[in-house]
Amino acid sequence: MPVRLLFRPLAGLLFGISLPSAAWAQSCTFGISAMNFGQVDTLSSVQTNTTANMTVSCTGTALSRILICPNLGEGSGGTTASSRQMLNGTNIMNFQIYSDASRSTVWGSYLWPYPSRPPVLAMTLSLLGSGSGSTVLYGAVPGGQGTVPPGSYLSAFSGSHVEFRYRYSAASNDCTVTTGVVVARPSFNTTATVAANCLISTQPVDFGTTGVLSGNVDATGQVSVNCTPGTTYSVGLGNGQTGTGPTSRRMALGNQGITYGLYRDTARSLPWGSTIGTNTVAGTGTGAAQGIPVYGRVPAQTTPAPGTYTDTVVVTVTY
């Protein structure tokens, strides 16, 4: 079904003035605003949406119908069968342009090798032989593109990537007809920015159930860090709720406690604290989760009353 553009007649005719009988060649001008996705969180699974506006103004024979076939190709970033692409050097971010707000119908072209076609637009000119209207281009960047490095991404639509064909057509919506077709090539850009970002998750250090604390009790947890590719980071661990240092943290139950430490190595010889460059763990993001073991130790000490002892340690990722 064709999409009809909203149009505004330039003016009404004064009563008694006759219409010209001559047929005039149609002429349309198009404008498309930039499609700017802003900052995209590539580590998120959530899709990023935006829009661009297309305007059209046409003149020609009064009351005639103009069929517009706005072909959009791949853009300068290229495309695959499933998505268009924005580039930062050789780095690729997938995106797509749709003709509907639900982002289910790809805005394509009769000139590319993929099945997606452009929407069919139609405009009926006013008594003065003019009309204008607008429609919306709906953009989407899929979530879950964690391997996309930080930077600014661009795909330019111009030249052969944009071919808007229009012609007089009383009823037909056939965009394959070439007779009487006029071609316009408006241009616009799609842009997005990826900022350095990190996500973290943790697995607790559970020392389990033990009796008298006459020797070391060891356990292992994990900090999982997912940072954008190439992003350097440092992971620090706080001293807990009442601890005084990396090896003198304290699990509590009421006013009683159990001293413990957290370490960066299996031998429990490298305390894990929060001083960057001294007792933290450094890494470089890949766009995938990186698991970092946390080695815990309860040293021999006076055994407190039975019960469940806990502590909360703040994990800080600096990048």
pLDDT in tens, 116-134: 999 999 999 999 999 999 9
The share of the chain scoring above pLDDT 70, in percent, equals: 93
Q: Within 10 A of 263 (CB to CB), how many other CB atoms are there?
A: 22
Q: Are residues 49 and 103 in the same domain?
A: yes
**154 and 247 belong to one structural domain:** no
Distances, alpha carbon 18 to alpha carbons 11, 111, 126, 129, in Å: 15, 42, 14, 13
Whether residue 100 is found in the same domain as residue 180: yes
Q: Which of 161, 176, 194 is the last residue of a domain?
A: 194
Maximum Cα interatomic distance, the chain, rounded to a whole number of Å: 110
Q: What mean pLDDT value characterizes the chain?
A: 93
Of the pLDDT bands very low, low, confident and very high (cuts 50, 70, 90), residue 203 is: very high
Nearest to 229 by CA among 146, 141, 318: 146
- Residues 179 and 91 sit within 8 Å (Cβ to Cβ): no
The answer to whether residues 247 and 139 belong to one domain is no
- Please identify, among 166, 194, 222, the residue that sits at the C-terminal boundary of a domain: 194
Residue 187 has pLDDT above 80, yes or no: yes
| Residue 301, pLDDT score | 98
pLDDT at 293: 99
Do 87 and 183 lie in a common domain?
yes
Is the domain of 130 the same as that of 249? no
Give the CATH number for residue 186: 2.60.40
Task: Please check whether residues 127 and 236 belong to one and the same domain.
Answer: no
Q: Residue 265 belongs to what domain range? A: 198-318
- Give me the amino acid identity at 3: V
Domain containing 294 — which CATH number?
Answer: 2.60.40.1090
Q: Give me the pLDDT at residue 24, please.
A: 75
Which residue, 177, 194, 211, sits at the end of a domain?
194
208 plus 190 within the same structural domain: no
Give the count of beta carbons closer than 10 Å to the beta carbon of residue 60. 22
Residue in 210, 248, 49, 249 with CA at minimum distance from that of residue 141 = 49
Mean pLDDT for the stretch of residues 67-92: 96
- What's the domain count of the chain? 2
> What pTM was estimated for this model as a whole?
0.85
Between 1-15, 38-52, 112-126, 159-173, the lowest mean confidence (pLDDT) is in 1-15
pLDDT tens for 20-76 read 444 578 999 999 999 999 999 999 999 999 999 999 999 999 999 999 999 999 999
pLDDT at 18 over 90: no
**Percentage of residues of the chain with pLDDT beyond 90:** 91
82 and 208, same domain (yes or no): no
**Residue 152 and residue 42 share a domain:** yes
- Copy the structure tokens of residue 284: 């470089």
Decide if pLDDT at 8 tops 70: no
124 shares a domain with 209: no
Q: Which of the residue ranges 3-7, 62-66, 121-125, 283-287 would you say has the lowest mean pLDDT?
A: 3-7
Task: DSSP for 93-151, please give it.
Answer: EEEEEESSTTS-SB---TTSSSS--PPPEEEE--TTSEEEEEEEEEEEE-S--TTPPSE
Q: Do residues 55 and 133 share a domain?
A: yes
